[in-house]
Chain A
Amino acid sequence: MAKKTVVDFAAIKKGLADNPEPIQVLNSKSEVVNKEVFESFSDDQLVEFMEKMVWERALHEQTMNFSRQGRMGFYAPTAGEEASEMGTVLAMEAQDYLLPAYRDVPQLIQHGATVSEAFLWSRGHVEGNKFKARSLMPQIIIGAAFVEAAGVGLGLKMNKEDAIAFTYTGDGGSSQGDSYEGMNFAGAYQAPVLFIIQNNGYAISTPRIKQTAAPTLAQKGVAAGIPSVQVDGMDILACYAVAKAAREYMLAGNGPVLIETLTYRYGAHSSAGDDPKRYRSEKEEKPWFDVDPLIRMRKLLTDKGLWSEEKEEKLIEEYKNSFKEAIKEADQVAPEKVSDMLKRTFEVPTPSIQEQIKEFEAKESN
């Protein structure tokens, strides 16, 4: 080299790609790769993990049916993300505060909302927001829950509560400015917030690889001074163990943590009609179906004599019946009127809203 350069940018860029392997406990062949962590789980716990994933898959399937029967409003499919969603939420306690996004309805139910409330929420019904769970309603604005979580986390800290805030977004959400602002604020104030990026590969139709030059999404937390890890999002044991460890670390007053779960959205972005065939190939999907979170747990538990096909079928039947009961319950609630929504907008309706209320009440009365 003729001239000595002041800095080697190429080497720095290359270094960015040098990251640890995603954390894993049970691999896709159902082999235990972290014995110490694995042995911390009781048999009952292992069965519970599987039951929760079967429950979430059944909820997804039944909700898709309801959707095609015209009985749902907006729905963001969750198939493929069971380990990532159930693993993390099961590590939380009731006093923890959830800030979900729209694909996190299963976690919200797990955290205390009823299924019928979730269905009402999908229909845009105000009754769907009256759940008892310590949670805000699922956030529709992409990435915005990260900002809310920072504030809630700071509140928990100031009130000296023995609780953390936990929040979710997707890979698309991590490309939004909001997600960095939320993480930066939580970092600056050392607020106990567990940020979870469920990297399911797509922001609607934009592949993860086209959204950012960052080699991992976990490293987006590094700039905010937050310890950040990648976890195998198809391994419920890893998701649970890492979330649990993060919770303990944060409760000791150490500030926020970021987890990126590597998972995959099996179907469409939403029930509103995007066709995944238009933006990805079956060749790409297949390897993900092979590492399905239910398959690896099913094999592990069956080998241990803790699981059977009959048991799973019976559970699915039970769960689906409970969802059918829940939608009947939701159907009992009178549909919302536009005028009701308008009346709720301001404590004292403005003149133009008053005019609209009158107009809609006239339409609704005939």
Chain B
Amino acid sequence: MAFKFKLPELGEGMAEGEIARWLVKEGDTVKEDDSIVEIQNDKSVEELPTPVSGTVKQIVADEGQTVEIGDTLIVIDDGSADDGEDEAPAAAEKPAEKAEAPKEEAKAAPAAKAEATGSANSNYLAMPSVRQYARDKGVDLSQVTPSGKHGQITKTDVDNFDGSAAPQAATTEAAPAAKTASAAPIAPFKSATPELETREKMSLTRKAIAKAMRNSKDIAPHVTSFDDVEVSALMANRKKYKEIAAGKDIKLTFLPYIVKALVAVMKEYPELNASIDDTTEEVVYKHYYNVGIATNTEHGLYVPNIKNADSKGMFQIAKEITENSQAAYDNKLSGDAMSGGSITISNVGSIGGGWFTPVINYPEVAILGVGKIAKEPYVDENGAIQVGNMLKLSLSYDHRLIDGALAQNALNKLKELLHDPDMLLMEG
């Protein structure tokens, strides 16, 4: 008879995972403890070994599919006695049971609430600190929709609660009307023509990106300053050293120059290399220069950073940019490579484009958007119109810490360094 292998709980608080890759196919023979599947769990990938030997009868969950703890992933014919449909070692059932319990509670809490619409109801789950927070804000917790584990109401739920809306029970059918409240409630996407649409689950990486972007925009008030700089000298310099770099198996792009220039700018304007600690209302100035490069891959956006760029030469930086982006493509970036950043570069120039408004890689406070270099008329130092090679720069910054004048001064400095790469020798 067949053994059903179900997704075990691979970490505390883990509710689901994504099938990253099957290492076996139907009909394959597997031996106990052979790795059979890779499960993507937030940003790490775990290989799961099979608990039984036998033949793969059916792969139940497809690659890319999100599965919950306790869901059957694969059916393996292990030749064991037929004990009925749900035959499995006793312990293998345990995680499934564990996952059941919270669900019941989650269901129970909102139901109890609906019964008591309008009246005070203490039958909800919230931590004492959240209850205090709600009292201080004058929010009635019995009206708040919980999003936490086990149906717990979180502080964010209280923040997102819109007091002007009617109680939950009455809003189930109401269309989300335009509201003045700052945080948008989570509303379903509805349309008149669902047959002309298809739906796909967001991957875990996509969800992580969405969360990070929203978080950055929620917390940091963004301002973007646009500017451009004439870079003929920079192009000539790169052209000259590109061959030498190639001889060392190094791909020299414009990025290392920009990394170097940004380091010099951050040294002069340390506010750009800082973070805000909201819990203590302190500005944290960083004495390291880790410059992130946003890297677009088919499985998501990653920002590995060049560690201690201030102590590295141009070739070394170029080499590390290539290595980091390769690791991103291969899904092999460590958390280490992506944490502790100073500032980020978002480069769309290789594809095209000019100015745009990049989103800060929070908790950093600035991000530089780099467009393509375009031939455009340009008035030179002598007042003559020339054909210039113009590089478009967009600097987004967190206005809580960085004011417009500071940002423009920093941009001016950056332009100076990119316009005359010899200056990089002096200051880079």
Contacts and interface: CB of A to CB of B under 8 A. Distances in A.
A69 B10 CA distance: 9
Interface stretch (A159-167, A219-227, A328-336): A328-336
Given A68-B47, A69-B49, A334 B10 contact: no
A71 B89 contact: yes
A109 to B, nearest CB: 19
B92 A65 contact: no
Interface in A334-360: 334-335
Contacts of A333: 90
24 contacts: A65-B33, A68-B8, A69-B5, A69-B49, A70-B7, A71-B8, A71-B92, A123-B94, A272-B11, A273-B10, A273-B12, A273-B13, A273-B41, A275-B44, A277-B44, A277-B335, A277-B336, A278-B335, A278-B336, A281-B336, A282-B336, A330-B91, A332-B90, A335-B94
Nearest to B51: A69
A324 interface: yes
B381 to A, nearest CB: 48
Nearest to B50: A69
B339 interface: yes
B48 A273 contact: no
Interface of A: 62, 65-73, 123, 272-273, 275, 277-278, 281-282, 324, 327, 330-335
Contacts of A282: 334, 336
Contacts of B334: 277, 282
Contact of A70 (B41, B47, B92): B92
B95 interface: yes
B32 A335 contact: no
B90 A272 contact: no
Given A327-B91, A330-B91, 12 more contacts: A62-B33, A65-B33, A68-B47, A71-B91, A71-B92, A273-B12, A273-B14, A277-B44, A331-B89, A332-B90, A333-B90, A334-B90
A275 B50 contact: no
Nearest to B96: A70
A71 B51 contact: yes
The 9 closest A-B pairs by CB, nearest first: A273-B11, A70-B8, A69-B51, A272-B12, A278-B335, A71-B91, A277-B334, A331-B89, A70-B95
B227 interface: no
B11 A69 contact: no
A19 to B, nearest CB: 32
Interface in B331-357: 334-336, 339
B52 to A, nearest CB: 9
B335 A69 contact: no
Interface string B2-22: 000111111111100000000
Given A273-B14, A278-B339, A281-B336, A65 B49 contact: yes
Contacts of B97: 335
Contacts of A70: 6-9, 51, 91-92, 94-95
Contacts, number: 70
A177 B16 CA distance: 38
A224 B69 CA distance: 49
A76 to B, nearest CB: 13
Contacts of B33: 62, 65
B93 interface: yes
A272 B33 CA distance: 20
A308 B96 CA distance: 44
A304 B309 CA distance: 50
A240 to B, nearest CB: 32
B91 A331 contact: yes
A23 B32 CA distance: 42
Contacts of A72: 91
A66 B6 CA distance: 13
A67 B14 CA distance: 14
Nearest to B92: A70
A68 to B, nearest CB: 5
Given A65-B33, A277-B334, A277-B335, A335 B8 contact: no
B91 A68 contact: no
**Which of A65, A68, A70, A334 counts the most chain B CB atoms within 10 A?**
A70
Contacts of A73: 94
B46 interface: yes
Contacts of A65: 33, 49
B14 A69 contact: no
Nearest to A74: B12
Given A272-B11, A273-B10, A275-B335, A123 B91 contact: yes
Interface in B210-228: none
Contact of A324 (B7, B13, B32, B94): B32
B12 A335 contact: no
Nearest to B12: A272
Contact of B93 (A67, A330, A332, A335): A335
